[in-house]
């Protein structure tokens, strides 16, 4: 077994994102920023899981374009290819190969109990529901187990998928002998919880009905300022109206939390500087732009230099394959597959 990190005492941590649309401020402050901070503490692997996106893809060109954009964004926000392993899932064929093994290790009943499948298939009721949407957790189990992953930082919506991965690993190890490292779901380093600027009771998301509530990292500065100026607040007035209280003042608190996250302070500390919503909105937009401007610049540079992007992704794919191929071979050997 050759594992480049075998001698490292850092935990192997895997986080993945599907290339299914533009990256927004919620993704950045909630996930990408903590990933960037964690890359030196951990042996970090970050996958752009394009095969997962195929579960809901029916047009040519879309996934590849989204994958290259997400890769440029990963590097633009500061993931360092010399430190973290950044790869595109389809560049590492071992994902498909171990994915099949996992489909045969997880039962139909277990897959049927996945709440994400039930939710997603219900939402697509009139639409095409692919078999892949159902077997998706088996592919995700392969993603995780291939890298001898110790920790997977996930939100609540993904915990069940980590549980099924652990169950699959245990079952496989029991059937065929010690093969896989048991991964653990960990609560991600606290990123900011960013809500929609138009409906602060729901998370900022790409599926917002209008784009007005969602700030994309590639939005031009004018659009960003406009979205902040139009952010929904409340009708309280007076010098005390700017305070952090998620229950009673969700809109104002969201602005305070965003402002605090991009200036590395607490929402309470930010609230003390403002007495009026208008001033808070403008200052928050400006503070966000101070962070987004350099990201957008690096992103545009990389998108114009596809050769460089391809080079960076090749480094990641080679490193990822080095680990993944060894794990797949271990699994095949322990099953006792006929060697090629
Ligand atoms: N299922 C995850 C999501 O929808 C994405 C994902 C795929 C993933 N493979 C993974 C996350 C492996 C962590 C580890 O967000």
Question: Residue 184's domain is classified under what CATH number?
Answer: 3.40.50.620
> How many folded domains does the chain comprise?
2
Q: Specify whether 83 is located in the same domain as 139.
A: yes
> How far does residue 45's CA lie from ligand 1's centre (Å)?
12
Q: Specify whether 219 is located in the same domain as 173.
A: no
Is there a contact between 99 and 86 (Cβ–Cβ < 8 Å)? no
Q: Specify whether 286 is located in the same domain as 261.
A: yes
Cβ of 140 less than 6 Å from ligand 1: yes
> How far does residue 286's CA lie from ligand 1's centre (Å)?
32
Helices marked H in the chain: 25-27, 33-38, 50-53, 62-76, 94-103, 108-112, 115-123, 131-146, 156-176, 221-229, 250-263, 267-271, 277-303, 306-335
Cβ of 95 less than 6 Å from ligand 1: no
Q: In what order do the strands lie in the sheet with 151-153?
A: 85-88, 43-48, 12-17, 151-153, 184-186
| Chain-centroid distance, C-alpha 149 | 16
Question: Residue 225's domain is classified under what CATH number?
Answer: 1.10.240.10
For residue 157, what pLDDT is reported?
87
Q: Specify whether 49 is located in the same domain as 132.
A: yes
**Spatial distance between the Cα atoms of 189 and 34, rounded to a whole number of angstroms:** 6
Residue 2 lies in a domain: no
Query: Which of 140, 145, 205 gets mutated to test ligand 1 (max ligand atoms within 8 A of its CB)?
Result: 140
Q: Dig out the tokens for 215 from the structure.
A: 């700030």
Q: Specify whether 177 is located in the same domain as 161.
A: yes
Query: Which of 17, 20, 45, 49 gets mutated to test ligand 1 (max ligand atoms within 8 A of its CB)?
Result: 49
Q: Specify whether 180 is located in the same domain as 109.
A: yes
Q: Specify whether 32 is located in the same domain as 178.
A: yes
The ligand 1 atom nearest the CA atom of 17: 5
Q: Specify whether 238 is located in the same domain as 315.
A: no
CB neighbour list of residue 291: distance below 8 Å, 6 or more residues apart: 262
Could you give the angle at which helices 115-123 and 156-176 cross, rounded to 10 degrees? 130
Q: Specify whether 79 is located in the same domain as 130.
A: yes
Residue 7 lies in a domain: no
For residue range 133-151, list pLDDT tens digits in order: 999 999 999 999 999 999 9
**What ranges make up the beta strands (E) of the chain?**
12-17, 43-48, 85-88, 151-153, 184-186
Residue 239 lies in a domain: yes
Q: Which residues are identified as catalytic?
A: 120, 203, 206
Residue 4 lies in a domain: no
Residue 70 lies in a domain: yes
- DSSP letter at 182 equals P
Is there a contact between 102 and 335 (Cβ–Cβ < 8 Å)? no
Q: Specify whether 187 is located in the same domain as 86.
A: yes
Residue 6 lies in a domain: no
For residue 271, what pLDDT is reported?
96
Length of the chain: 340
Cβ of 158 less than 6 Å from ligand 1: yes
Cβ of 16 less than 6 Å from ligand 1: yes
For residue 206, what pLDDT is reported?
78
Q: Specify whether 39 is located in the same domain as 85.
A: yes
Q: Is the pTM of this model over 0.75?
A: yes
Query: Which of 12, 13, 16 gets mutated to test ligand 1 (max ligand atoms within 8 A of its CB)?
Result: 16
Residue 145 lies in a domain: yes
Domain that holds residue 16: 12-192+306-335
Q: Is 340 helix (H, G, I), strand (E, B) or coil?
A: coil
Is there a contact between 275 and 242 (Cβ–Cβ < 8 Å)? yes
Q: DSSP string spanning 229-253?
A: HT----S--STT-----TTT-HHHH
Cβ of 89 less than 6 Å from ligand 1: no
State how beta strands 184-186 and 43-48 pair. Answer: unpaired
Going by alpha carbons, the residue nearest to atom 9 of ligand 1 is: 140
All residue ranges of the chain with pLDDT < 70 are 1-8, 190, 207-209
Q: Dig out the tokens for 16 from the structure.
A: 């993945």
Q: Specify whether 247 is located in the same domain as 184.
A: no
For residue range 183-236, list pLDDT tens digits in order: 999 987 767 789 999 999 999 987 656 789 999 999 999 999 999 999 999 999
Cβ of 14 less than 6 Å from ligand 1: yes
Residue 147 lies in a domain: yes
For residue 208, what pLDDT is reported?
55
The ligand 1 atom nearest the CA atom of 52: 7
> How far does residue 25's CA lie from ligand 1's centre (Å)?
19
> How far does residue 170's CA lie from ligand 1's centre (Å)?
20
For residue 4, what pLDDT is reported?
52
């Amino acid at each position: 077994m050759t594992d480049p990190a075998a001698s490292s005492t850092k935990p192997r941590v895997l986080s993945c994102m599907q290339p299914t649309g533009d990256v927004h401020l919620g993704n950045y402050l909630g996930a990408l920023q903590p990933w960037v901070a964690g890359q030196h503490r951990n042996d970090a692997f970050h996958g752009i899981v394009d095969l997962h996106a195929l579960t809901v893809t029916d047009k040519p060109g879309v996934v590849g374009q989204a994958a290259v954009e997400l890769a440029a964004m990963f590097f633009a926000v500061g993931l360092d290819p010399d430190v973290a392993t950044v790869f595109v899932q389809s560049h590492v064929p071992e994902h498909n190969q171990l994915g099949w093994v996992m489909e045969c290790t997880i039962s139909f009943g277990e897959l049927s109990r996945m709440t994400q499948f039930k939710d997603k298939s219900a939402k697509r009721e009139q639409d095409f529901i692919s078999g892949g949407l159902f077997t998706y957790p088996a592919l995700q189990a392969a993603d995780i187990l291939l890298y001898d992953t110790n920790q997977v930082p996930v939100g609540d919506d993904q915990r069940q998928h980590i549980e099924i991965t652990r169950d699959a690993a245990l079952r496989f190890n029991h059937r065929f002998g010690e093969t896989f490292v048991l991964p653990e779901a960990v609560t991600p380093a606290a990123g900011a919880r960013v809500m929609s600027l138009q409906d602060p009771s729901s998370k900022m998301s790409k599926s917002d009905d209008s784009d007005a509530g969602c700030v994309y990292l590639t939005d031009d500065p004018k659009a960003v300022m406009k979205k902040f100026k139009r952010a929904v607040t409340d009708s309280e007035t007076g010098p005390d109206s700017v305070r952090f209280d998620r229950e009673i003042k969700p809109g104002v608190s969201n602005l305070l939390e965003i402002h605090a996250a991009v200036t590395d302070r607490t929402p309470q500390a930010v609230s003390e500087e403002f007495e009026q919503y208008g001033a808070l909105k403008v200052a928050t937009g400006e503070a966000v732009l101070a962070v987004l401007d350099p990201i957008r610049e690096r992103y545009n540079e990389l998108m114009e230099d596809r050769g460089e992007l391809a080079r960076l992704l090749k480094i990641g794919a080679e490193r990822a394959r080095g680990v993944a191929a060894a794990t797949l071979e271990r699994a095949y050997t322990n099953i006792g597959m006929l060697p090629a």
